[in-house]
Structures are given as C-alpha cells and as structure tokens.
Amino acid sequence: MEKILLRNVDAPDSHTIGAYRSRGGYRALEKVVREMSPERLIDEIKASGLRGRGGAGFPTGMKWGFVPKDSPKPKYVVCNADESEPGTFKDRLLIEKDPHSIIEGTIIAAYAIRSHTAFIYIRGELSFGAKVLGRAIEEAVAAGYLGKNIFGAGYDIDLILHRGAGAYICGEETGLLSSLEGGKGWPKVKPPFPATHGLFGCPTVVNNVETLASLPWIVERGAARYAAIGTEKSKGTKLFSVSGHIRKPGVYEVDMGYPFKKFLEEDCGGVPNGKKLKGVIPGGASMPVLRADELDGVTMDYESFQAAGTLLGSGGVIVMDESTCMVRSAWNISRFFAHESCGQCSPCREGCHWMEKIFRRVERGEGKAGDLELILSVSGNIMGNTICPFGDAAAMPAAAFIKKFRPEFDAHIAQKKCTVSAS
C-alpha cells in the first residue's frame, strides 16, 4: 500500500519547509497556480473521488463546486483542525509532523474557489501543534507561497491560524464558523449551507485537515492514480487512529476497502495479554459499536461500515477486549456527550444528560426495570431532532451499546453490580 498522507511524517525534521520541499513539497501548488484554472482543479478533485475525511464523507470537489463563482462577497476557506472526536488522533500527527502538507492543501482549496483569505481553526488544547503550524506558516510566507502574487501568477492568499478554546462542537462546520465569528460555537440551521452563506454570511468551504493534506499528492500524481486506489465509492487511502486494547496502537494509513479483521489482527497486532476481542468502535465515539462476531467480511470503507450498521466516521478505532464492561463504556461515552452538548437544542441539551444519568445509575448497580427502554426512547427522541449532527452522534452509540450487548446490561440491572470486569 502506498503512503500518501504519511509519506513525510517519518522524515528527519519533516515539519520544516526545507525537508518538505526536498520531498517535492509545494510543487503541486505551483502547478495549480501557474497551469490550472479553478474550474479544472475542481474537476480534477471531483474525478479523484476524494470524500471529506472529517467524518461525513461528502465529496470534496462537489462541495467546492457549490460555491458561487460570481458572488460579490469575499470567499473563505477554513481548514478544520479541531480534532476532538474521542479515539481520533490522526490530524494531530499531520499537524505536528507534516504541517506544510496542510498549508499547501489549504492554499490549493482556496485557489479552487477563488478565495483570498483562509483560516486554520485548530483546537485550543493543541498548543504544540499551533506552535508548529504557526512556524510553518511563517516559513511559507517567507518562501513566497503565502501573500501577494504567489509564483508571480497574480494570485493573492492570506492564511490565518486561529485557536479554539475548548469545545467539541466547534468541530461541526457551522459551530466552527460561529466560533470563528467570535461567538459561542453554536451550530447554524442548514440550509443555507456554508458554500453560499458561511463565515460572516459569505461563501465558505470548511475541509478537514486530512482532506486538505491529500490534495498536493492528488494534484501532482493525478486524479486517476488516486481513484485507482480503494473501492468503487470510497477512493484513495484513509487514516485510522487505533487505540484501546490493541498491541500496536497508533495512526495507520490504509487503502480503502482493506479487510477490517485482518487490519486489527495483523497490522495492529491483535488484542494483547491473550484476551479475546469483545467489541470495536470503528469511526470515533459517535459511531455505533460492533461486536467481535460482526466483523467478518467488513472492509474499511464508507459503504462496508454502513452495511454493517455503523459508519466510518473519523476512522477512530477503539478496541475493547473481553474484560471491558460495556455498561461502563456506554456511560463513559454518554458522559462525553452530556459534557459537550452546546445547549442550543432541547432534545440534545436535556436528552444527553438524561442518558448519562440513567447509564450511570445502571453502571452503579442502581438501575431499575425499564431503564434501558427509557434510554432507547430518549435516544430515539434526540435522533434527527436537532440542528446539527451532534444529537445523532450522541444518540447512535447509546442505542447501539444497549442493542449489541443487551444481556450484559440486563445482568447489571438484575444483579445490581458488574458481572464482567473488576476495572
């Protein structure tokens, strides 16, 4: 499997512009600015089949295509570096080890929609990443890749690094825009979509770090080569962050369509300490959990995960062995969502706290008959009834844990204690 996103991360001083350029960095940007029209660039990215790597999987070229060409308003591109999905740490690796691929990708995206101001919105907690990116932006300015008239081709582009201040919801694109406008990170009602009414009401594209970091390679090697990797509907490579009960945790780059079981057992070394696999969350904590017996035939791409009743999401793979109490895991995740709900929509603001409270009660051995039905009912009432996808992200895993591991939840209630683990 060819490394596209991780091609630079192990090189010495990979975060510096010297190392990046010696490995072919900024050649794609030069080609774009000197030789390609924005329209041709958008067609090229459409042809590559690249889909958004932040979690939703929306085709990137199509997203760019929605931006009106003739708008009198300024246009903006925002790189979403607010990586906060539990179990996901791929963007942090790229930020710290290959910041120039993100900067180059962001400028390419800006050129595609004729934007002259771009932002990188990085989550506040990533202080080190912000320092690395800040230095890389200074290097890019000094080298003439950012600023006025880059490559002498008459294109101006300014890039602003903006730090968040601690809120998961700012990873949702409209919540991010509200935050970048200087307010609370409250998501906005769609439509209108950011492509026409985004930052300050102007046409805006928000793309994830990994999506943007894929662009230089695609431009340089050609869309056809990228589209030759992966499956019919999931093209290219994807980064997966692997954590939990696994021998070799870390960030892996995988050709879309790779067998999931093989990945866990061979590439990641399987479950340590002679324990059996019990469950795995494949796409970050927002995505439904899979039982070990559900992994047969599942491949690592958008369609196969969906067919298995879950989603690829951010590619945050959380592995749980047989000693894991699933009630406690469900409670932990419900607590995350209760803590991070932004409070704008009642179903989510109230429902997330109710679910957390009931899961906690069951986990402590104080659950009563009907508690699980109550959680399922609350989850069902949140699902689809909120402004942004956060509501679904909180509702889906809660219901999945109960449905997939029902006997364990029932036993917890009946015996008033955990029957699985001492942890």
211 contacts 54 by C-beta, under 8 angstroms: yes
333 contacts 86 by C-beta, under 8 angstroms: yes
Q: Residue 96: what are its φ and ψ, rounded to 5°? A: -80, -30
Rounded-to-integer distance, Cα 80 and Cα 54, Å: 8
Q: How far is the CB of 369 from other proteins (least distance, A)?
A: 27
Of 33 and 137, the one with the shorter C-beta distance to other proteins is 137
Select from 126, 223, 327, 345 the one that contacts other proteins (CB under 8 A). Answer: 126
Q: How far is the CB of 345 from other proteins (least distance, A)?
A: 15
Q: What Cα–Cα distance (Å) separates residue 222 from each residue in 49, 227, 344?
A: 12, 9, 43
Select from 59, 147, 244, 389 the one that contacts other proteins (CB under 8 A). Answer: 244
Select from 35, 39, 181, 232 the one that contacts other proteins (CB under 8 A). Answer: 181
Considering only residues 284-323, where is the footprint of other proteins by CB under 8 A? Answer: 285, 316, 318, 320
Rounded-to-integer distance, Cα 33 and Cα 141, Å: 16
Rounded-to-integer distance, Cα 63 and Cα 204, Å: 10
Terminal Cα-to-Cα distance of the chain (whole angstroms): 38
Q: How far is the CB of 139 from other proteins (least distance, A)?
A: 18
10 Å Cβ neighbour count for 183? 9
Q: Are strands 258-259 and 299-300 parallel, antiparallel or unpaired?
A: antiparallel
Considering only residues 82-101, where is the footprint of other proteins by CB under 8 A? Answer: 83-89, 91-92
Rounded-to-integer distance, Cα 31 and Cα 219, Å: 8
Select from 58, 144, 200, 377 the one that contacts other proteins (CB under 8 A). Answer: 200
Q: How far is the CB of 332 from other proteins (least distance, A)?
A: 5
Q: Are strands 147-150 and 117-122 parallel, antiparallel or unpaired?
A: unpaired
How many residues belong to the site for other proteins (CB under 8 A)? 57
Q: How far is the CB of 130 from other proteins (least distance, A)?
A: 9
Of 32 and 355, the one with the shorter C-beta distance to other proteins is 355
Rounded-to-integer distance, Cα 285 and Cα 393, Å: 8
Of 160 and 414, the one with the shorter C-beta distance to other proteins is 160
Of 179 and 211, the one with the shorter C-beta distance to other proteins is 179
Which range, of 60-68, 134-142, 245-253, 375-383, touches other proteins by CB under 8 A? Answer: 245-253
User: What residues contact 301, with CB distance under 8 A and at least 6 apart?
Assistant: 230, 231, 233, 234, 238, 256, 257, 312
Which range, of 55-63, 149-157, 158-166, 346-354, touches other proteins by CB under 8 A? Answer: 158-166
For residue 257, give the amino acid letter.
G
Select from 106, 174, 324, 386 the one that contacts other proteins (CB under 8 A). Answer: 324
User: What residues contact 279, with CB distance under 8 A and at least 6 apart?
Assistant: 289, 290, 291, 292, 320, 324, 326, 329, 404, 405
> Residue-wise over 197-229: b if at least 16 C-beta within 10 A, else e?
bbbeebbbbbbbbbbbbbbbbbbbeebeebbeb
- Determine, following the binding rule CB under 8 A, whether residue 339 of this chain makes contact with other proteins: yes
Select from 12, 72, 152, 182 the one that contacts other proteins (CB under 8 A). Answer: 182
Which range, of 138-146, 238-246, 361-369, 379-387, touches other proteins by CB under 8 A? Answer: 238-246
Select from 117, 196, 231, 385 the one that contacts other proteins (CB under 8 A). Answer: 117
Considering only residues 36-75, where is the footprint of other proteins by CB under 8 A? Answer: 74
Considering only residues 6-35, where is the footprint of other proteins by CB under 8 A? Answer: none
Applying CB under 8 A, which residues contact other proteins? Answer: 74, 83-89, 91-92, 117, 123-128, 160, 162-168, 179-185, 200, 241-245, 249-251, 281, 285, 316, 318, 320, 324, 328-329, 332-333, 335-336, 339-340, 342, 423
